[in-house]
Structure 1
Amino acid sequence: MRTPGILIFGMVLAPCGWILDLTATVAPSWRTLNDIPNTPPSEYIEQGIWDICRRTTSSVRPECGLEDTTYFGHQIIEVAQGMMVASLVVTLVGIAVAIPGVRCWKDRPNWTMAGLGGLLIFCSGVLTIIPIAWYTHIMNDISTVTPVINVQVGYCIVLGYIGGIFEVLGGFVMFIGICRCCGGKNRGEKRLDRVMATQYRNNPPPRPTIMPSLDRTRSNASSSVPYSKESLDDDVSFPRAKTPGAQSVNSSVMAWSRPPSSSLLCGTSADE
């Protein structure tokens, strides 16, 4: 039995979501501060949940490790750090639980283990979406020592949303495999009557072969054929040779039935 589609779907989206969440966690680009006073127009600051970097459009290497106690002391930063790390760990645990349940090296998958792994992956996606959505909602209200003129969303927010949605969808689809619904279609199963009908269409039963009867020993009265044995023997298109036994019998019969010749009769009358 091949792996059901819902398990393939979940096992593909879960690692992809984990990679996107990992990038969103470690990269310092949750928001971007532009038009900072007393700085060149080409300079901007990127803030994440672990680090803050100063970049310019002309330089390639950013200046990271900036201190901002007011920013890192905000409640959302502490919550985001804990929930994003927990999301990464739960995703790995869910994938590890789901792998032996998906195939388990048997004909049929272990739906209980696969569903439990899908539930863990679903929870990890929720753990990712909650802090990112909260951070996006209060992004302009987060205090910082740097006077902020223009605040823009960083690419980590976009990657975190996509990764969390991947994990939520993949985990939910794997979890619904625990319950057998839609006639087993959610598990990739087919109904028995449809399988039998498909096999019947592909391999129809052979037609019975009717052989003509060649038995001629039945009597004419019990035979339903409108001709007799003699007619079958006479109706030939080539001369049939007679058997020697038949010729001897016919010759002896003709010899006894032949009348006496005239010479024998005349000789007998003269003697008398």
Structure 2
Amino acid sequence: MPSQDWVRTSLRTPGILVFGMVLAPCGWILDLVATVSPNWRTINAITGQPANQFIQQGIWDICRATETSQLGCGVQDTAYFNEKIIPIAQGLMVASLVTNFIGLAIAIAGVRCWRDTPRWTLAGIGGLVIFLSGVMTLIPIAWYTHILESIPVSSPSTDIRAGYSIILGYIGAIFEIVGGLVMCIGICRCCGGRNRGEKPVEEVMGSQFRHRKNTPPRRVEVPSLSSSKSTASSVPYSRDSLDEDVSFPRAKPAPRSVRTPHTDRPYDVDL
């Protein structure tokens, strides 16, 4: 069976590629904030400490703070950093950032900002790499949330909450997973080519033929050369009408001089 030819109906960048190229950088920024910020877990109501003081724990640092100020970071907690989830989260979050960056570089080369037709395979591979980066972010975030209250604490507390880094990590991972999956849809043509913004050549040519067939021919008015000459003149007056018009005085013509053939010598009768 001969392969079917396809043609793009628009030179605009396909929507699935635009969608993925917007969500992937947004997810990368959110993951970066979640990685470096020391607020994966917040410990409140610490025994022996003021009521307004709390501890913020991340995967790289621990800080003490109050509701109005930051008291300091670099708090040592050996039991916390020796927990199994911490080194795994450090490695996966950094790997996710690097992988997302690589996926964006591959996808940019295939999106075709400077070409008439996208490189669908290259763009799909970039989307797959971005999807993997989202998965690498989601694994430590979900694991840390699951064992949030079982991670050892140096100071006894009864109020342990998830920090904003967990929320940002979830949103960033979802952005990367959804954006990467949408870009992967372009690897294979489906839904009648609508996922790529393409149509079969036969369908496009047939629609153009039907449009021309249904369009009535344009009528052109051609002046006839055999039409009788009109007696009406386009000039609102004629020479005869000017001669008959006596509503204004006319200047009298100058008398004509009569030249006689005789010379200027006087005769006898003149004397």
TM range (shorter): 0.7 to 0.9
Instruction: Map 1:1-272 onto structure 2 (within 5 A).
Output: 1-59=11-69, 61-103=70-112, 105-192=114-201, 193=203, 196-197=206-207, 200-201=210-211, 204-207=214-217
Matches of 1:196 and 1:48, distance apart in 2: 62
Quick one: structure 1 residues 139 and 199, their matched pair in 2 at CA, closer, same or farther if it must change by over 3 Å? farther
Deviation per CA, 1:196-225, whole angstroms, max 9, x where unpaired? 43685489444387xxxxxxxxxxxxxxxx
Q: Using the alignment, how far apart are the partners of 1:21 and 1:112 within structure 2?
A: 27
Which stretches of structure 1, 4 residues or longer, exceed 3 Å deviation after superposition? 198-206
Q: Tell me, which stretches of 5 or more residues in structure 2 are unaligned? A: 1-10, 220-271
Q: Kindly tell me: are residues 147 and 198 of structure 1, through their superposed partners in 2, closer, same or farther at Cα, counting changes over 3 Å?
A: farther
Q: Which amino acid aligns with 1:55?
A: A
Following superposition, the deviation at residue 65 of structure 1 comes to 0.6
Alignment partners' CA distance in 2, 1:182 and 1:12: 23
Displacement of 1:190 after TM fit? 3.1
Unaligned runs of 5+ in 1: 210-272
Q: Is the 8 A contact 1:10 1:171 kept in 2?
A: yes
Q: 1:197 to 1:55 in 2, by over 3 A?
A: same
| Secondary structure, aligned partner of 1:44 | strand
Partner of 1:268: none
Tell me, yes or no, if the aligned pair for 2:13 and 2:113 is still in contact at 8 Å.
no
Q: Report if aligned partners of 1:42, 1:58 keep a CA contact under 8 Å in 2.
A: no
Task: Report the structure, 1 or 2, having the larger helix content.
Answer: 1
Q: Larger Rg: 1 or 2?
A: 1
Q: Answer yes or no: is the 8 Å Cα contact 1:121–1:170 preserved in 2.
A: yes
SS in 2 for 1:35: strand
Distance 1:141 1:203 in 2: 75
Tell me how many residue pairs correspond in the alignment. 212
The aligned residue for residue 266 of structure 1 is none
Q: CA deviation at 1:80?
A: 0.2
Q: Residue 139 of structure 1: SS of its match in structure 2?
A: coil
State the distance in 2 between where 1:97 and 1:20 align: 20
Cα RMSD of the aligned pairs, angstroms, is 2.4
Tell me, what secondary structure is at the counterpart of 1:176? Answer: helix
User: Which residue type is aligned with residue 177 of structure 1?
Assistant: G
- Of stretches 128-137 and 191-200 in structure 1, the one that deviates more from structure 2 is 191-200
TM-score where L is the length of structure 1: 0.73
Q: Distance in 1 between matches of 2:157 and 2:183?
A: 44
